[in-house]
Chain A
Amino acid sequence: MRATIAAAEPILELKFGQVGIANLRLNLNDPAALRDEIEQKVAAAPQLFARAPVILDLSRLPQLPDAAEAQALLDAIRAGGMLPVGLSYSTTENELLAKELGVPLLAKFRAVYEKQNADEAVASIAPAPAPSRPKAVPKAEAEPARAPAATVSGQRHDKAVRSGQQVYARGRDLIVNAMVGNGAEVIADGSIHIYGRLSGRALAGAQGDASARIYCMDFQAELISIAGRYRVFEDLPKELRGKPVQAWLDGEKLLIEALVP
């Protein structure tokens, strides 16, 4: 009887909409200091900040806190007068953390790049993701969190990437039809294909996609990284130098091999 009524008239409606929400990026894992700072902010602008919903972003911390520590941070935010509703910055570890805490993970906040004008082909964007977060890497068994949709084609770059320049392909592959010089950096959330010399740095899977690969025609790289695992080449292996190569992740290991035609 009851069941039929429920079926006829659901007791809830789900609607999706967009709401603005603040991203609280933490530079230091210190609940007491966090609480003080939030209290100050709330006191300074109560209308704006009192009971304001915030998403906690842990991407700046050198190490991801464990569940107890993260809970202490959430409590500190609450004690300071704001309302934490979830975590941002999507890595697999962070996802587990959010599950443990029973809060949602808002993957849309791309902590490292979002605020930058990253759509620019050559933009001065924030830290090289690999060096800054070498630990933020999904385990092998995890599903790639943000595999680019099949319809998204790669971002093409036809000019040489010179020393000091960065090219970032957000959420997709990067194709470079020119050389990447020493001291230059090419970054993609997907794979990187370079039809020229790679003398600089290439960082694929910048948001943690462990299935991303790096291909180049003439390998002389300073550093390559996939999903945060990186290798520095002080001396280039003789069998790889100047060769067309591909690089991929095998579990935790970053492998490189000459491409055989």
Chain B
Amino acid sequence: MTENIVVTSGKGGVGKTTTSASIAVGLAKRGKKVAVIDFDVGLRNLDLIMGCERRVVYDFVNVIHNECTLKQALIKDKRYETLYVLAASQTRDKDALTQDGVQRVLEELAADGFDFVVCDSPAGIEKGAFLAMYFADRAIVVVNPEVSSVRDSDRILGLLSSKTRRAEAGNSKVQEHLLLTRYNPSRVATGDMMSISDVEEILGIKVVGVIPESEGVLAASNSGVPVILDEASSAGQAYDDAVARLLGDERALRFTEAPKKGFFSRVFGG
């Protein structure tokens, strides 16, 4: 049974692609067979974050237009042999994706025995985002602790419960998970940033993970190594926790409290 997971947010720049890459790696690390698909046609990034940008020959749009086989377009990850990347096309626009085509690709992946297909949605609520979420079984809604991101996520949650195949069938719903990223406990403590409970309360669902703002994320992105593989970074560990929770483990939230100030910083400020 293949599960389609869409990583979506509405708003741009909140960490969808970073999340897609880390979730996909986290699942593959646990032995699952995973494909991660970039739906952001025209602004592809996932291949960069996954570190396979120089190995892209065929892309998702080529497969949809029957210009190559799915097998030719799937890029095998060098770290985990059960992990595959399907890159977006950089030279097309989002209209190059069709619902039939996306469905065909997802069905083919299911027939190939994939456990999870992670769909990295583009920002916005246009065609690309719609197609990324349409066939989802689960959704990871990525949200930053600030009002505009929260509002956009609210909109996306509304679409997930109405504009998806599961919603249209009427007998099941997309399982929703909230992932809070760029969380900075110190700024929450000073009241600059919305807290976990603020966000949970507005959106009415619990978080599946909280990713602290971390320097590791930028460094990881720039080097093409998903941050979950940076085990020294708090963000990497938090993503690993989130993947464990997605698979049903119970883990307490970490990195959500402001670090206690030590004696020196209390005396000298800090």
The answer to whether A and B come from one shared complex is: yes
The listed residue (B53, B68, B90, B92) touching A132 by CB distance below 8 A is B68
Contacts of B70 in A (CB 8 A): none
Q: Which of B44, B56, B58 has the most chain A CB atoms inside 10 A of its CB?
A: B56
Closest to B47 in A: A183
How many interface residues does chain B have, given as a range? 10 to 19
- From known contacts A230-B57, A233-B54, infer whether A124 and B92 are also in contact, taking CB-CB under 8 Å: yes
Interface status of B126 (Cβ within 8 A of chain A): no
Interface status of A222 (Cβ within 8 A of chain B): yes
How many interface residues does chain A have, given as a range? 20 to 34
Interface status of B167 (Cβ within 8 A of chain A): no
Contacts of A62 in B (CB 8 A): 66, 68-69
B66 in contact with A131 (CB, 8 Å): no
Closest to A133 in B: B67
- Cα A68 to Cα B90 in complex, Å, equals 39
Contacts of A128 in B (CB 8 A): 91
- Cα A78 to Cα B53 in complex, Å, equals 47
- Cα A85 to Cα B175 in complex, Å, equals 56
Contacts of B104 in A (CB 8 A): none
Contact with A along B108-134 (1 / 0, CB 8 A): 000000000000000000000000000
A124 in contact with B93 (CB, 8 Å): yes
Contacts of B55 in A (CB 8 A): 232, 234
B54 in contact with A234 (CB, 8 Å): yes
Contacts of A132 in B (CB 8 A): 62, 67-68
Contacts of A230 in B (CB 8 A): 57
- Cα A131 to Cα B44 in complex, Å, equals 18
A27 in contact with B66 (CB, 8 Å): yes
A183 in contact with B90 (CB, 8 Å): yes
Closest to B72 in A: A131
**Which of A5-13, A36-44, A162-170, A242-250 touches B?**
A162-170
Contacts of A178 in B (CB 8 A): none
Interface status of B42 (Cβ within 8 A of chain A): yes
Interface status of A60 (Cβ within 8 A of chain B): yes
Q: Could you tell me which residues of chain A, from 142 to 194, have a CB within 8 Å of some CB in chain B?
A: 163-166, 182-185
- Cα A124 to Cα B42 in complex, Å, equals 11
Q: Could you tell me which residues of chain A, from 224 to 240, have a CB within 8 Å of some CB in chain B?
A: 230, 232-235
Binding site for B on A (CB under 8 A): 27, 60, 62, 124, 127-128, 131-132, 163-166, 182-185, 222-223, 230, 232-235
Beyond known contacts A127-B67, A184-B90, A235-B54: 18 more, CB 8 A cutoff: A60-B66, A62-B68, A62-B69, A124-B91, A127-B65, A128-B91, A131-B68, A132-B68, A164-B42, A164-B43, A164-B91, A166-B91, A182-B53, A185-B91, A222-B53, A222-B54, A232-B54, A233-B54
